[in-house]
Copies of this chain bind each other. A is one copy, B any other.
């Protein structure tokens, strides 16, 4: 397995493009299309928010047959809470994309991110679709990643190559996170492509599991979006022996590569969280169950007090410990050790006289590692978040107007 430069056009047989659908300067919109001329097996996971954009429901319907050929995604407008008109607009996006690419509309996945409760400017969307579709290319993945960016500070791309059954198999992905001012909230979108040959049920299972240990383990501010979605398309062009048994050696090999792509993108999203100055990685070790480990790790990454302390380079392990304590998990606090990077801060639930300067050095790092060793089991989990800075407030105090 090796990490490569590239994104959604790294695997064989995928084209992509991103364009600016800007008409008025004050309302920038971007549009991207990812396209596989070969029908691809596809799977997706969606936001669990009760308030969902129309595109989520449409994709569920379109993916019932497990096949897709294109993703069309716009920023600047989430097309959420827009009722019947919103539904019609999302369908129109799939139809126009299908028309341009000469494929069935039900093989098009639709994604949107941006302001909530405002109707889509369909003239601009249509213009964007037409232009993106006519400019699709084998090296357009980077442009698609840029189109997702809006005001994210860095583009989020990942590509990995592995070998399965003697064939080179590639996976590429692009994502957008929460470094955005225009969209209404921290919409998380990730689009993954692969030329692997893999059955629908394996793809679904694998995407769900891989999402659980990547995107579902990041948090910028605990808020989930109406439009979150992760989509994977596998077009089989690598011609590897079909992966069709969950848990088989090839399945595991491919999952390892997919996990790497997803975790890479997830960490890029967390690091580029609104106003973030540092990535926080929380490792929970020796927990009684994986569920317990996950809950504790995630609760720490969502603790405002912990996040603000990291921003201020304040080695406040008490906040970390207290966040663990409210995770809704049964554990014995008198056995817990806490580390900040290499520095041991607490042992058996009690503070140590630690070296303030070394602790501060750990907090100055671009990635701050917090380790919580429960010493009461064999399970573990890792979660990622970011610090809470003045810029988070600045960005979110007046985004809409």
Which residues of A approach B to under 8 Å, CB–CB? 48-52, 78, 80-83, 115-118, 184-186, 221-226, 302-305, 308-309, 311-319, 321-327, 329-331, 333-334, 346, 348-351, 356, 388-390, 392-394, 396-401
In the A-B complex, the 3 residue pairs with the closest CB atoms: A312-B397, A117-B351, A116-B318
Main secondary structure of the interface of A (DSSP, over half): loop
Using known A-B contacts A81-B349, A185-B305, determine if residue A400 contacts B323 with beta carbons closer than 8 Å. Answer: no
Whether A397 pairs with B50 at a CB distance below 8 angstroms is: no
Residues of B within 8 A of A313 (CB): 398
Closest to A116 in B: B318
Closest to A324 in B: B51
Query: With contacts A116-B319, A185-B319 known, what are 15 further pairs, Cβ within 8 A?
Result: A50-B327, A50-B331, A78-B318, A81-B349, A83-B348, A184-B318, A221-B305, A223-B322, A226-B325, A304-B304, A304-B392, A311-B397, A312-B397, A312-B399, A314-B397
8 contacts between A and B (CB under 8 A): A49-B322, A49-B326, A50-B325, A83-B349, A184-B318, A226-B322, A312-B397, A314-B397
Whether B50 pairs with A308 at a CB distance below 8 angstroms is: no
CB of A272 to closest CB in B, whole Å: 17
Residues of B within 8 A of A314 (CB): 397-401
Whether A322 pairs with B185 at a CB distance below 8 angstroms is: yes
CB of A69 to closest CB in B, whole Å: 31
Q: Which of B83, B323, B325, B397 contacts A309 (CB 8 A)?
A: B397
CB of A368 to closest CB in B, whole Å: 14
Whether B82 pairs with A350 at a CB distance below 8 angstroms is: yes
Whether B400 pairs with A393 at a CB distance below 8 angstroms is: no
Whether A304 pairs with B222 at a CB distance below 8 angstroms is: yes
Q: In the bound complex, what is the Cα–Cα distance between A234 and B337 (angstroms)?
A: 42
Residues of B within 8 A of A394 (CB): 390
Whether A115 pairs with B304 at a CB distance below 8 angstroms is: no
Q: In the bound complex, what is the Cα–Cα distance between A329 and B333 (angstroms)?
A: 31
Q: In the bound complex, what is the Cα–Cα distance between A349 and B225 (angstroms)?
A: 15
Q: In the bound complex, what is the Cα–Cα distance between A235 and B390 (angstroms)?
A: 48
Residues of B within 8 A of A81 (CB): 318, 321, 333, 346, 349-351
CB of A332 to closest CB in B, whole Å: 8
Using known A-B contacts A51-B349, A351-B117, determine if residue A322 contacts B225 with beta carbons closer than 8 Å. Answer: yes
Residues of B within 8 A of A321 (CB): 51, 81, 116
Whether B312 pairs with A117 at a CB distance below 8 angstroms is: no
Q: In the bound complex, what is the Cα–Cα distance between A399 and B305 (angstroms)?
A: 10
CB of A213 to closest CB in B, whole Å: 21
Residues of B within 8 A of A323 (CB): 223
Residues of B within 8 A of A221 (CB): 304-305
Whether A389 pairs with B393 at a CB distance below 8 angstroms is: yes
Closest to A119 in B: B351
Residues of B within 8 A of A400 (CB): 309, 314-316
Residues of B within 8 A of A397 (CB): 308-309, 311-312, 314, 389
Using known A-B contacts A80-B318, A81-B349, A116-B318, determine if residue A325 contacts B222 with beta carbons closer than 8 Å. Answer: no
